[in-house]
Amino acid sequence: MTTDAPRLEIKDICCAFDGRRVVDNVSLRINRGQVTCLLGPSGCGKSTTLRVIAGVEMQDSGEIYVDGKLICDTAHRVPPERREIGLMFQDFALFPHLSVADNVGFGLKTGGKAERRARIEELLERVDLKRFIDGFPHQLSGGEQQRVALARALAPKPKIMLMDEPFSGLDNRLRDGIRDETLTILKEQDTAVLLVTHEPEEAMRMADEIALMRDGRIVQQGAPYNVYTRPMDRAAVAFFSDAN
């Protein structure tokens, strides 16, 4: 398809559990190197939206396109491992029996041994954990494990990165640095990012676009400054003010 197609496009995605629609006609377009932040109260359907895009949950209707190519509708479905989508969830655990290097290298299928090792070293350098390269997850703090998980998600250079509150396990001192570094790497790789966060400040800092979600629907979407200065309704105002 054309190269000017959005890197990720979802169209009219619906997903119901027990007859209740938790994702209700959600459409989004994210270009290469762009970050869209999905904001909204707990239970509004953010994680389910990400799970549908990742392919670990099946939508009831709607389509998903990557670079203009249909990867999923109700008749046709590319399996999760072939979607070139990276996942970074808050509780995304490392493999306890694998070294830090092997965890980071887990999704690296291509290249020779030396090339893979160089990529692992580069990524661990960037998350400031190269000294732990031959260590094991249980030797690391929670925040350090989180940074290894980030390196692991970034390693195969996914076209799309889905992040569900990936920074909330980090202490404040580390958070800004890791957040900025992650963003730099993703932008360099031209990755389209869909980031769920409950922190408006994080969204203002990272997003090219903000999408506000409520009861399964996207109720407002736009540049962070516009959403912040012209919130559509009282719930949007409350959302931004709650954080402070």
CA distance 92 to 167: 12
Measured from the CB atom, is 39 or 206 closer to Mg ion? 39
Return the DSSP state at 230. Answer: S
Is 23:49 a contact under the CB 8 Å cutoff? yes
Show the binding pattern over residues 4-43: x = contacts ligand ADP (CB under 6 A), - = does not.
-------------x----x-----------------x-xx
44 binds ligand ADP (CB under 6 A): yes
203 binds ligand ADP (CB under 6 A): no
Among Mg ion, ligand ADP, none, what binds residue 45 when CB lies within 5 to 8 Å by partner kind?
Answer: ligand ADP
Nearest approach, Cβ of residue 182 and Mg ion (Å): 19
159 binds ligand ADP (CB under 6 A): no
85 burial type by CB count under 10 A (0-12 exposed, 13-18 middle, 19+ buried): buried
Among 9, 24, 30, 45, which residue interacts with ligand ADP (rule: CB under 6 A)? 45
A 10 A CB-CB count for 196 gives 21
CA distance 220 to 42: 17
User: Beta 35-39 vs 209-214: how paired, if at all?
Assistant: parallel
58 binds ligand ADP (CB under 6 A): no
48 binds ligand ADP (CB under 6 A): yes
Among ligand ADP, Mg ion, none, what binds residue 146 when CB lies within 5 to 8 Å by partner kind?
Answer: none
Measured from the CB atom, is 72 or 174 closer to ligand ADP? 72
**Cα angle for residues 182, 33, 69 (degrees, 5° grid):** 125
47 binds ligand ADP (CB under 6 A): yes
Among Mg ion, ligand ADP, none, what binds residue 225 when CB lies within 5 to 8 Å by partner kind?
Answer: none
Count of residues interacting with Mg ion (CB under 5 A) = 1
Token pair 């990867």 is found at 71
Measured from the CB atom, is 16 or 98 closer to ligand ADP? 16
Contacts of 184 (CB under 8 A, 6+ apart): none
Binding to Mg ion (CB under 5 A) within 32-51 occurs at: 47
Q: Identify the CA nearest to 102 among candidates 127, 119, 125.
A: 119
215 binds ligand ADP (CB under 6 A): no
Return the DSSP state at 48. Answer: H
Sheet holding 160-164, edge to edge: 85-89, 160-164, 192-196, 35-39, 209-214, 217-222
Measured from the CB atom, is 47 or 197 closer to Mg ion? 47
Is 216:243 a contact under the CB 8 Å cutoff? no
Note the residues at the interface with ligand ADP (CB under 6 A): 17, 22, 40, 42-48
Note the residues at the interface with Mg ion (CB under 5 A): 47
